Amino acid sequence: MEYGVVVFYSTSWALKAEKVAKEGGFEVKLIPTPRQISSDCGTALRFRWEDREALLDLLESKGVRIEGVHKI
Amino acid sequence: MSRFFASRIGIIVSGAIIGALAALLVLWGNPPNMGICVACFTRDTAGALGLHRAATVQYIRPELIGFILGALLGALLFKEFKPRSGSAPLIRFVLGFFAIIGALVFLGCPWRAYLRLAGGDLNALLGIAGFIVGVAIGVFFLKRGYSLGRSRPVGTAVGLVMPVFALILLLLLLFRVSFGENAPIFFSKSGPGSLHAPILISLAVGIVAGFLAQRTRFCTMGAIRDVIIMRDFHLLSGVLAFIVAAFLVNLAIGKFHPGFAPQPIAHSNHLWNFLGMVLAGMSFALAGGCPGRQFFMAGEGDGDAAIFIFGMLVGAAFVHNFNLAGVPDKIVDGKLVVGGPSLWGQIAVIVGLIIVAAIGWTMREK
């Protein structure tokens, strides 16, 4: 199982993204932003890498602002 | 090496080292149960600069200088020095201002709350409970959409302000500069401000802690926040290691004395220990980091964290100029007189709770 994380500018965006993603039926989990990605103590959204395109489309359509996407 | 610091073992080892050193600092001269207290040390530094004139709490604390320099070192070595700013700095100043009011009513920031617990001071339990409640309230606001907005990369100068300020403070301390008769830099001759480990030892401990904390993201507030938001125990494991290591060192050096009263530089006014730390917890949660973390972020170049620290510095000055601080318990004629904040201190905490709640309720990303 390959995972990716969506990284956000602030924790509140991460929380909103989790809500949107779960409502959209995606299997996601909030995790602390992986240390290797950032020294910021933010919150990231882990998702299944195969869901990448669909998830990012959904987040964009709901106005969720993201900082970036990384494979982990 | 990066992977070590990112790992669970890394943060546990780091937390244990910092906790052990904090307990040892008391052996080496720092005030009881106050090996490291970011709020108290900020207050002491404010006093040394003459921002307040409470004679018993005036001393430039090298630990804080070490935090900045150690974090800066870690950031530079691993290419994580990122000058950034712009995330509602004025609000962060206000949050720092009220965070330290809450902490000084309790007579400790979360670091000291854990160290007091590790020293047997059971009043810390009230403070920690209040702190957890405060962080939970902050999380409630986060879930509602609270945000101070993103910061943006800025010129290098922004990131160097705090390190340069720290170095200037170090020089003022090392050379005991005096700006005139009855003028700063002040050095307490009695009271907590007069109790300190040798400068170089304090500085070295601060640098080690700053480096480890920057590498691992050690944060006493984040530890609670991450458990509440996502049941993640990574940061908490570091904090628990901190407490256990400090406790074991205290046992070994005979500085573990369990009980409620009297405890050194503490009071057993349960309500205000609790409420003061609710205010502190809310403020640190809304500002995205415990006071230690704000110093470490400032060392990484975060200008917003630096402004929070200046808010704490000014808040500490207000606390002692306006008689807001918690007064320790005293023994008078063999009887315990419970301390706590003055009426002004209580009003300040209530006002702070309202203002910080208003910030949490209304601030959203534009």
pLDDT in tens, A1-50: 899 999 998 888 999 999 999 999 999 999 999 888 887 778 999 999 99
Give the CA distances from residue B24 to residues B107, B188, B259, in Å, rounded to whole numbers and listed in that order: 20, 22, 21
CB A15 within 8 A of CB A64: no
- According to DSSP, the residues that pair with A30 across neighbouring strands are A45
Give residue A14's pLDDT: 93
Give residue A40's pLDDT: 77
Assign residue A10 a region (left: φ > 0; alpha: ψ between -120 and 50; beta: otherwise): beta
**B156 falls in which pLDDT band (50, 70, 90)?**
very high
User: What is chain B's mean pLDDT, rounded?
Assistant: 96
Give residue B163's pLDDT: 98
Residue B52 pLDDT > 90, yes or no? yes
Residue B337, helix vs strand vs coil: strand
Give the CA distances from residue B348 to residues A15, B173, B317, in Å, rounded to whole numbers and listed in that order: 32, 32, 14
Q: What would the two tokens of residue B37 be?
A: 């207290």
Residue B51 identity (one-letter amino acid): L
Beta pairing, strands A3-7 & A68-71: antiparallel
Residue from the list B143, B150, B234 with its beta carbon closest to the beta carbon of A9:
B150
Report chain B residues whose CB lies below 8 A from the CB of A68: none
Q: What would the two tokens of residue B167 be?
A: 């170095």
pLDDT in tens, B233-280: 999 999 999 999 999 999 999 999 999 989 999 999 999 999 999 999
pLDDT in tens, B308-341: 999 999 999 999 999 999 999 999 999 999 999 9
ipTM of predicted complex:
0.91
A 13-72: CB under 8 A from B: 13, 15-16, 29-32, 34-36, 39, 41, 43, 65, 67
Whole-number Å distance between alpha carbons of B44 and B33: 16
Beta pairing, strands B340-341 & B152-153: unpaired
Report chain B residues whose CB lies below 8 A from the CB of A12: 142-143, 145-147, 364-365
Give residue B234's pLDDT: 95
B 199-228: CB under 8 A from A: 214, 216-217, 219, 222, 226
Q: Which residue has the tokens 């965070």?
A: B99
Residue from the list A12, A41, A67 with its beta carbon closest to the beta carbon of B146:
A12
φ, ψ for residue B125, nearest 5 deg: -60, -40
Residue from the list B234, B364, B365 with its beta carbon closest to the beta carbon of A32:
B234
Contact A41 B150 (CB under 8 A): no
CA distance B283 to chain A (A): 15
Whole-number Å distance between alpha carbons of B215 and B43: 27
Other beta carbons within 10 angstroms of residue B346's beta carbon come to 18
Give the CA distances from residue B319 to residues A59, B31, B294, B363, in Å, rounded to whole numbers and listed in that order: 46, 20, 20, 26
CA distance A50 to chain B (A): 23
Residue B1 pLDDT > 80, yes or no? no
- According to DSSP, the residues that pair with B302 across neighbouring strands are B84
Residue A72, helix vs strand vs coil: coil
CA distance A10 to chain B (A): 7
CB B213 within 8 A of CB A14: no
Whole-number Å distance between alpha carbons of B111 and B132: 13
Residue B217 pLDDT > 80, yes or no? yes
Give residue B66's pLDDT: 98
Average pLDDT over residues B38-62: 98
Spell out the residues 6+ positions from residue B230 whose beta carbon is closer than 8 angstroms to its own: A29, A30, A31, A32, A43
